[in-house]
Amino acid sequence: MFFRVTLPLAAANFINQASRTVMAIVGPVLAVEFALSASELGFLAACMFAAYGLAQLPVGIALDTIGPRRLQAGLMLVAAAGFAVFALSDSLAGFITARILLGIGVAAGLMSIIKGNSQWFAPAQVAGVTGIAMAISSLGSVLTTAPVEAVLPQIGWRGVFWLLCGLAVAASLWIALAVRDKPAPAGKRSLRSEAAVTGAVIVSPVFWRYAPAVAMLSVLNFTYLGLWAGPWLRDVSGFDGPARAQTLLGYTLAVVVGSLLLGQAASRAQALGRSAFLVPIVCTVALVAVQVGLLLRPSSPALVTALWLGFAFFGSSGAAGYIAVGQMFPPEQTGRVSTAVNALVLGGAFLLQAAIGWILDLWPRSATGGWEPAGYSAAFALSIALHLAAAAHFAGWTRPNQRR
């Protein structure tokens, strides 16, 4: 089942990862070429997350009713259209339109993997198999770091988006031809009843106990890898373009390793009878510590690199958290629970990514087009406060071993 279900769906999530992280390399180029402010650049990058988040609840219903194969094959064509529009645009309005299309097109990336794996693998295996799929998917982020930086002089940022457009079309075809959908239970339910199930998930006290803390792990990875890590490395640590690209490449490789190891660790812990939340809890503590280190603006390049690698590694535990929340609900609701968590992630990423841009604009822009290091520290103070608030909310509830 891995090669018939998990791997093709991981190809779609590869596109998802690439669409999010490409702005960390291309964003500074666009800011100079089109004279974009920090708030404009932050809003542009965040528009994708807004569309992505708004699409989550209908995507969850679709995953649980028509299955991941048909949904993902169609959405990959929407993503291809988004890449094409971006490549053809010459204005902020065009870029925003493209990012909205991309947000819709990649809306089922991780969720389709979780749904497909939940259909075909035993519960204790899902986190491990999903971790492998996430490691493969994260290679999309690898593609959009040092490799994109290397080809920018030859093909330009428009060429990069045309390349991603072609990959999205190829992923759509692969999914349509290869993925197997597990037959749905007998009896067709109305759209109203399906929507009612979604509503019950959203208002569930269990969901609100644990989902915000789980979501913050991915919110931070989306926010910084998706845009602000690259400018931070330029403005705070003084890294040039190649050095930034190499550091971001290391970041994405740490996501690959973290997805693989932490997914396996979560499955192992669950098989031993431990809480499914054990790995996300440990990673939350570590990620807060890493953010404190970055807030202090270390001067050593080696320490800077180590902190960003740790940020990536511990932040990649978000997928294990999605699965932990999903397993607290009936299996037939997996798609809706996962997309509800993802809606929190994407809404949070939109707000935090845009808020960082607004914070940076409170300081004068440097002569080289960058932003004040103190602004980045203020931004990290905000993200740490939000992370601690979510963790405190999680810790204030009882044991995470009871279903809704």
The b-or-e profile of 24-36 (16+ CB within 10 A means b, else e) is: bbbbbbbbeeeeb
Residue 180 pLDDT exceeds 60 = yes
Nearby residues of 340 by Cβ (< 8 Å), 6 or more positions away: 56, 57, 60, 198, 201, 202, 207, 211
Residue 66 pLDDT exceeds 80 = yes
**pLDDT at site 89:** 93
Nearby residues of 355 by Cβ (< 8 Å), 6 or more positions away: 42, 379, 382
Q: How far apart are CA 99 and CA 93, in angstroms?
A: 10
Enclosing H/E stretch for 97: helix 92-105
Confidence of residue 183 (pLDDT cuts 50, 70, 90): low
Q: Which domains does the chain have, with CATH numbers?
A: 2-180+191-395 (1.20.1250.20)
**pLDDT at site 382:** 96
**pLDDT at site 168:** 96
**pLDDT at site 326:** 84
Full-model pTM: 0.71
Percent of the chain having pLDDT more than 70?
A: 95
CA 24 to chain centre: 14
Nearby residues of 344 by Cβ (< 8 Å), 6 or more positions away: 211, 212, 215
pLDDT digits (tens, 9 = 90+) for 21-57: 788 788 888 888 898 888 888 888 778 878 887 888 7
Please count the other Cβ atoms lying within 10 Å of the Cβ belonging to residue 285. 10
- Provide mean pLDDT across the span 52-75: 87
Confidence of residue 185 (pLDDT cuts 50, 70, 90): low
Residue 402 pLDDT exceeds 60 = no
Residue 186 pLDDT exceeds 60 = no
**pLDDT at site 389:** 92
Please state, rounded to an integer, the average pLDDT across all residues of the chain: 86
Please report, to the nearest 10 degrees, the dihedral formed by the alpha carbons of residues 81, 84, 85, 87 taken in order.
160
- Provide mean pLDDT across the span 94-114: 91
Confidence of residue 169 (pLDDT cuts 50, 70, 90): very high
Please report, to the nearest 10 degrees, the dihedral formed by the alpha carbons of residues 295, 103, 37, 372 taken in order.
10
Residue 316 pLDDT exceeds 50 = yes
**Which one is predicted more confidently, 385 or 225?**
385
**pLDDT at site 374:** 94
Confidence of residue 340 (pLDDT cuts 50, 70, 90): confident
